[in-house]
Amino acid sequence: MQSQPDQRNASSTMHSTPMEAGRQRQGRLWSNLKEVCDLLHIPAAVSVNSEELLFQHVQFKTGQRVHTIGQAFDTLYIVNSGFLKTVLIDEFGNEQVLSFPMKGDMLGVDGIHTRHYASEAVALSDCDLILLPFKKLTALGRVHMELENLMYGVMSRELVREQAMIGMLGALSAEARVARFLVSLADRFAAMGYSSKLFNLRMTRHEIGSYLGLTLETVSRTLSAFNEIGLITVDQRTIGIKDAEALKTLRRLPPSRSRTKGAGAKQKAETDAAGDDQVLATTA
Amino acid sequence: MQSQPDQRNASSTMHSTPMEAGRQRQGRLWSNLKEVCDLLHIPAAVSVNSEELLFQHVQFKTGQRVHTIGQAFDTLYIVNSGFLKTVLIDEFGNEQVLSFPMKGDMLGVDGIHTRHYASEAVALSDCDLILLPFKKLTALGRVHMELENLMYGVMSRELVREQAMIGMLGALSAEARVARFLVSLADRFAAMGYSSKLFNLRMTRHEIGSYLGLTLETVSRTLSAFNEIGLITVDQRTIGIKDAEALKTLRRLPPSRSRTKGAGAKQKAETDAAGDDQVLATTA
DNA sequence: CGCGAGATTGACTCGGGTCAATAGTAGTGG
DNA sequence: CCACTACTATTGACCCGAGTCAATCTCGCG
């Protein structure tokens, strides 16, 4: 069914890591700096003698919490395999999903400032994470400056990602949000070497909705509508991307707010007219 | 090189930089590390001999751009005085306001990752900024580890701020967003030593709306409504806070989405009922 | 094989976006 | 000093996108 990475027991049958160094069924226990850099997609012309400093792995099972809000901060995590969600809990106990970290993503950065995690990370599947004790990291940073730059880069990247998220929440319609979410997922799967055309969602409609600032019903309806139109295929959590380009450029509610000057007003009108009875539009 | 404040025609009349090396009316031309740390509210038990490393100031006039999207990154900025906005520009030229930096805030962090600024910063008033050449900063970081921690702290803080923003955009009603925006502004003014009860907005309704994911009309109406109810006074851009507590706890559309388990469902109902004809609610 | 979480759909409502008219404000120049 | 222009803010009337409520339907699991 699902073409790719099945989660549940993904770690048990680690495709490429039988067991060399340590030895135990799932993943290895330690990674060196180079492996960490590779995972983060950082060039990292590391001159470091790898085997010297090793970082431990830890496994989490589906549903387990990696860290909770308010918990004392002392380590960052890098996802080696598996899928998670990070959430904020508001004053009523409602969850607000902030991100869906997967292979190569870093967790825990929001804990640096106050020395307490500001969000909660939950495993959506069995996961293998690499521990990066923050103290150790900063100490090393002073020796290996590429590591320091790595840290700045990762944090800055995360910042940019959140900015894009804010832009999306502030300006896009429900359909556009769902469409971009799918495209974003597809891209990330592609970057991980999986199919970007057919994959399984690891999260519920509810979680997607929370992430996108929508209700689960709207998410469900929107997916059905995309299916109807032929942009995707939907079967429960299995998604097939049929027209990635259309999804990327899909909008609605085009340029409602803002637009600094009068420039573009004309374009707006045109766009509106064109999009009036068309659900999607090709690149302008 | 880049640092010249003039994107357009600054050369004509710099308001506050007559032209003497020593000092001019507001702010001095250079700041040492301690002053920078103070500005950032970082304890910074700096053992550094201050006068050794100095950071240059630059002035920007209202409307000038500090940096634009895509511009090569090489320096961070700290606001010493004045007010700005940072914006994203979407594919149609629409602005999406991301933040309203003021004294003590850092700009440009989003440029670290790709080495190009990801957002645009515009002065909403005449400003005095401190330049932090990034290269210089990282070099210093290796010598003074408090500086390194300072950087991590500032970036992490910004990350947490954006997370809160995402949570707000994803979960709160228009009224709640405006209310929290006002409270947030009041708090920031208070932290700067100004009155938190009476202040002037530096931005237009349009910019506020963009920031909060609302239209300018909704912002205007909401402010009028708050005024009506006696929570605030409004006169153009002059805002008087009358009931900060009510603003802080004001909601609407309380727990629509999410809420992990059944817990809290009851509370939801109660809240809904209570809030049905009451616009605000006191602390739970 | 039945239970419960998740997903899908429909019917209805309403918050807030859209369009539009009016009015205050500020800067400019005669 | 006052008109002239351009922006900004306030309000009203209208309407649509998405939230709410609720009834199935599906599927994985004990």
pLDDT value, residue B43: 72
The band of A49, judged by pLDDT with boundaries at 50, 70 and 90, is low
H/E/C letters for each residue in A37-51? HHHCCCCCCCCCCHH
Same domain, B201 and B157: no
For residues A258 and B210, give the distance between their C-alpha atoms in angstroms, rounded to a whole number.
Answer: 7
Domain count of the fold of chain A: 2
The model's pTM? 0.83
- Whether the Cβ atoms of residue B15 and residue B143 lie closer than 8 Å to each other: no
Return the DSSP state at A15: S
Yes or no, beta carbons of B113 and A153 under 8 Å apart: yes
Same domain, B144 and B248: no
Same domain, A142 and A181: no
**Number of helices (H), then strands (E), in chain A:** 8, 12
Q: Which residues, 6+ apart, have CB-to-CB distance to B236 below 8 Å?
A: none
Q: Which of A38-52, A167-181, B107-121, B219-233 has the lowest mean pLDDT?
A: A38-52
**Nearest CA distance, A65 vs chain B (angstrom):** 14
For residues B170 and B51, give the distance between their C-alpha atoms in angstroms, rounded to a whole number.
Answer: 46
pLDDT value, residue B256: 37
Which CATH number belongs to the domain containing residue A182 in this structure? Answer: 1.10.10.10
Same domain, A143 and A29: yes
At residue B85's C-alpha, the angle toward residues A163 and B4, to 5°, is: 110
Q: Which of A48-62, A162-176, A227-241, A255-269 has the lowest mean pLDDT?
A: A255-269
Task: Provide, as residue numbers in chain A, all residues whose Cβ is less than 8 Å from the Cβ of B170.
Answer: 96, 169, 210-213
Return the DSSP state at A114: T
pLDDT value, residue B47: 60
pLDDT value, residue B264: 34
Which of A162, A217, A253 to mutate against chain B (most B CBs within 10 Å)? A162
Same domain, B162 and B22: yes
Residue B140 CA, distance from chain mean position: 27
Q: Which of A111, A145, A166 is the last residue of a domain?
A: A166
**Nearest CA distance, A81 vs chain B (angstrom):** 24
Is the CA virtual torsion B151, B155, B160, B165 positive or negative? Answer: positive
pLDDT value, residue A277: 36
Return the DSSP state at A81: E
pLDDT value, residue B49: 61
H/E/C letters for each residue in A263-276? CCHHHHHHHHHHHC
Which CATH number belongs to the domain containing residue A121 in this structure? Answer: 2.60.120.10
Same domain, A134 and A213: no
Q: Which of B131, B166, B201 is the last residue of a domain?
A: B166
Q: Confirm whether any atom of chain C, the nucleic acid strand, is less than 7 Å from CB of B126.
A: no
Task: Provide, as residue numbers in chain B, all residues whose Cβ is less than 8 Å from the Cβ of A205.
Answer: none
Same domain, B162 and B177: no
Q: What is the mean pLDDT of chain A?
A: 82
For residues B98 and A165, give the distance between their C-alpha atoms in angstroms, rounded to a whole number.
Answer: 10
Q: CA of B44: how far to CAs of B34, B145, B217, in Å?
A: 7, 10, 44
Q: Is the pLDDT of residue A280 over 60?
A: no
Same domain, B78 and B193: no
pLDDT in tens, chain B (284 residues): 333 333 333 333 344 443 443 344 445 689 988 888 889 987 766 565 656 688 999 999 999 999 999 999 999 999 999 999 999 999 888 999 999 999 999 999 999 999 999 999 999 999 999 999 999 988 888 777 778 888 999 999 999 999 999 999 999 999 999 999 999 999 999 999 999 999 999 999 999 999 999 999 999 999 999 999 999 999 999 999 999 999 999 986 444 344 333 333 333 333 333 333 333 333 33
For residues A85 and A227, give the distance between their C-alpha atoms in angstroms, rounded to a whole number.
Answer: 26
Which of A96, A140, A217 to mutate against chain B (most B CBs within 10 Å)? A96
Same domain, B178 and B103: no
Task: Provide, as residue numbers in chain B, all residues whose Cβ is less than 8 Å from the Cβ of A284.
Answer: 91-92
3-state secondary structure of A75: strand
For residue range A190-238, what is the model confidence (pLDDT) as tens digits?
999 999 999 999 999 999 999 999 999 999 999 999 999 999 999 999 9
Q: What DSSP line would sit under A123-166, residue for residue?
A: ESS-EEEEEEEHHHHHHHHHH-HHHHHHHHHHHHHHHHHHHHHH
Q: Which of A17-31, A52-66, A190-204, B208-222 has the lowest mean pLDDT?
A: A17-31
pLDDT value, residue B150: 86
Q: Is the pLDDT of residue A276 over 50?
A: no
pLDDT value, residue B274: 37
Domain extent for A276: 173-283
Same domain, A57 and A135: yes
- Whether the Cβ atoms of residue B99 and residue A262 lie closer than 8 Å to each other: no
Please, what is the end-to-end C-alpha distance for chain B in angstroms?
54
Specify which residues A120 forms β-bridges with.
Answer: A87
pLDDT value, residue A48: 59
In strand D, the nucleotides that come within 7 Å of a protein beta carbon are 7-13, 17-22, 27-28
The band of A127, judged by pLDDT with boundaries at 50, 70 and 90, is very high
pLDDT value, residue B177: 97
Return the DSSP state at A117: -
Is the CA virtual torsion B32, B33, B39, B45 positive or negative? Answer: negative
The band of A46, judged by pLDDT with boundaries at 50, 70 and 90, is low
Q: Which of A124, A143, A166 is the last residue of a domain?
A: A166
Same domain, B273 and B132: no
pLDDT value, residue A251: 85
pLDDT value, residue B258: 40
Q: Is the pLDDT of residue A179 over 50?
A: yes
Please count the other Cβ atoms lying within 10 Å of the Cβ belonging to residue A201. 21
A91, closest residue in chain B (CA to CA): B284
Nearest to A139, CA basis, from B195, B141, B52, B191:
B141
Q: Is the pLDDT of residue A132 over 70?
A: yes
Q: Confirm whether any atom of chain D, the nucleic acid strand, is less than 7 Å from CB of A2.
A: no
Same domain, A162 and A177: no
